[in-house]
Amino acid sequence: MRGLFLLFLIVPMLEMWLLIKVGQLVGAWQTIGLVALTAVIGISLLKRQGLHTLLRVQERLNSGQIPATELLEGLLLAIGGALLLTPGFVTDAFGFCCLLPLTRRWLASKLMNSGMFVMSQASMGATVDPFNQQQFQHRHQHEHRRQRQSQHSEGGQNVIEGECDRVEK
């Protein structure tokens, strides 16, 4: 919590200092234009990369795979877009790192390997296409089986089913 407080205190001060220095070097209007230009380029890049990532998520889901990396890349795209809309050069640099495919994939792989993000098949749900009859029947059979198991529980007690994954660090 203390680190987050320092981050929100130091980054704006650093941004203001850097904006003043760049303004003194190239002029105020050029600095404002540069900040606006990075925002426009960032929005364009965000739109293109976001659509590409969304298509990759859909492809993975359609093939029955978990799009864990793609979802994390989508989160990084959202963070990068927010950083690029924040006026300043330091936040723009971090924002572009989140938007450029090479650095975004590197960041996503580092975050996935760190163990901070864990995704399993159970967390994705059973349905990819709500109109797919076979998946609907599978879900219906699963619900029916759970109801029968709860009716046959010992001594009329409630049975709570669940799944867990052991994550070793």
Stated pTM of the model: 0.63
Q: How many angstroms separate the CA atoms of 11 and 111, rounded?
A: 22
Q: Comparing 1 with 121, which gets the higher pLDDT?
A: 1
* CB-CB contact of 122 with 142 (8 Å): no
Give per-residue pLDDT as tens, 4-52: 888 888 998 999 999 999 999 999 999 999 999 998 998 899 999 989 9
Give per-residue pLDDT as tens, 133-163: 444 444 445 565 556 555 555 455 666 777 7
Q: How many angstroms separate the CA atoms of 27 and 74, rounded?
A: 36
Q: Which amino acid is it at 113?
A: N
Q: How many angstroms separate the CA atoms of 53 and 51, rounded?
A: 5
For residue 134, what pLDDT is reported? 46
Burial of 88 (0-12, 13-18, 19+ CB in 10 A): buried
CA dihedral (95, 101, 102, 105) positive or negative: positive
Give per-residue pLDDT as tens, 84-111: 888 899 999 999 999 999 999 999 888 8
pLDDT at 122 over 80: no
Confidence of residue 116 (pLDDT cuts 50, 70, 90): confident
pLDDT at 132 over 60: no
Give the three-class secondary structure for 121: helix
CA dihedral (61, 62, 64, 65) positive or negative: negative
Q: Comparing 169 with 16, which gets the higher pLDDT?
A: 16
Give per-residue pLDDT as tens, 61-86: 898 888 888 888 999 999 999 998 88
Q: Which amino acid is it at 42?
A: G
Domain segments of the chain as ranges: 2-120
pLDDT at 131 over 60: no
